[in-house]
Amino acid sequence: MDNVRWEITNRNTGSGTFNVLIRQGDDNTNNKNILETFTNVNLDPNSPRYVRVKEVEYKTPNYLDNTGTAKSEFTSSIPVNGAGPFDGATGDVKDGANFYETINASNTQGLVSDNYTNMISLLANSNDYQFNTLLTPGLVNEFHASLITSAITNTQLRGDSIYVIDTVGYNGTLADAVNQAQTRDNSYSATYWPWLRIQDPETGKNVWVPASTMIGGVYAHTDKVSAPWFAPAGINRGGLGSVLRAKNKLSQANRDELYANNINPIATFPKKGIVVFGQKTLQKDASALDRVNVRRLLIELKSFIGQTADNIVFEQNTITTRNKFLAQVNPYLESIKQKQGLYAFKVIMDDSLNTPDVIDRNQLVGQIYIQPTRTAEFINLDFILQSTGAEFPA
């Protein structure tokens, strides 16, 4: 079932073209499961549609002569229609690669740890690579702590994104997830648990994936229906409709333990389905930045205000330039306030900050004070019984 097979279709000796299909190894002729299709390929190395194969009688350069007729010495090279396995292989053709729930420290999704090093180094360049969320399904803290440390360091230095990490592999327990989460303390990262069962869109198989695989979709949905400063969690925005099931059905006590240790639980509710039910970052100290919605708010603010500041670099250091900056930033922050992202804000860029000494150093200094809105994550309601005819409190 892990094997794949090839099939040749639409052989055309007149044009020298054919189709190559890559099929699931356990399908059959009447019920094909086609994984990839390459249409109208040929064996002409001068053609952009050229495909290389292991053995061929002759390559077919300039397959057609000047009259548009196929050259007879090449027609026998076009493969006949048919199907078969790759080199007669049986069983797993992944050559020991570990995918999904089998990933480990030495092999993850067919890669080794060093394969990620260049990617992490490249993403440190915020000028060339711009993004606000980083996810690395396949890397888990249990197996790849040093790589995740590098990615977190990059994220902190960039200051313009949040990194969703996975703590443990498929066999990791709740206690294991807690132990791994305790090794991190950072407001630019967040983690979710447990693993999830989904349908692989390429193969149609049901597979187990780490939670970060699906969290990007939750963030994107939150941005679409609300805004980045709304919590990407709860029934309204945290639903995981495409997830078939969570590996662990968490009790209230399980969810409380995870949340107390800065792990966002993925809960299973009757009639509600599977829901992200937490939005903490991995910062241990209690502050506004221990919540994902506040970190994502700041990322959004930094992006806009940073671009605004870039537009006045090398302009004259005068009151006119300061007012130009304030005229763009104040209305923007007011709009965020109106959209429930801020309780209050204040922007200062005046002579008290921009003294003659500061100006002589070619600097323009400003300060932005914000009070981010908080989310209602714990709702306490008291039911008070009163006798008939009693008046309710004002």
Tens of each residue's pLDDT in the chain, 394 residues? 457 888 999 999 999 999 999 988 878 888 888 889 999 999 887 888 888 777 776 778 888 888 889 888 888 888 888 887 766 555 444 455 788 999 999 889 888 888 899 899 999 999 899 999 999 999 999 999 999 999 999 999 999 999 999 999 999 999 999 999 999 999 999 999 999 999 988 777 899 999 999 999 999 999 999 999 999 999 999 999 999 999 999 999 999 999 999 999 999 999 899 999 999 999 999 999 999 999 999 999 999 999 999 999 999 999 999 999 999 999 999 999 999 999 999 999 999 999 999 999 999 999 999 999 988 867 777 777 777 877 777 7
pLDDT at position 94 is: 47
pLDDT tens track for 184-196: 999 999 999 999 9
Report yes or no: 282 and 189 within 8 Å, Cβ to Cβ.
yes
Residue whose token pair is 């396949």: 138
Residue whose token pair is 């187990």: 208
How distant, in Å, are the alpha carbons of 139, 166, 167, 200 from that of 171?
14, 13, 11, 20
Report yes or no: 110 and 91 within 8 Å, Cβ to Cβ.
no
pLDDT at position 332 is: 96
Residue whose token pair is 């763009």: 328
Report yes or no: 281 and 289 within 8 Å, Cβ to Cβ.
yes
| All residues at 6 or more sequence positions from 352 whose CB lies less than 8 Å from its CB, including other chains | none
**Secondary structure (3-state) at 101:** helix
Report yes or no: 182 and 274 within 8 Å, Cβ to Cβ.
no
pLDDT at position 76 is: 84
Cis, bond preceding 194 (omega within 30 deg of 0): yes
Cα–Cα dist 167/139, whole Å: 9
pLDDT at position 2 is: 55
DSSP assignment string, 154-200: HHHHH-S-EEEEE-S-TT--HHHHHHHHTT---TTEEEEES-EEEE-
Domains within the chain, CATH numbers bracketed: 4-85 (no CATH), 100-290 (3.40.50), 311-372 (no CATH)
pLDDT tens track for 149-180: 999 999 999 999 999 999 999 999 999 999 99
Cα–Cα dist 20/209, whole Å: 30
Task: Report the chain's terminal Cα–Cα distance, integer Å.
Answer: 69
pLDDT at position 93 is: 44
Angle at 371 between CA 369 and CA 373, to 5 degrees: 155
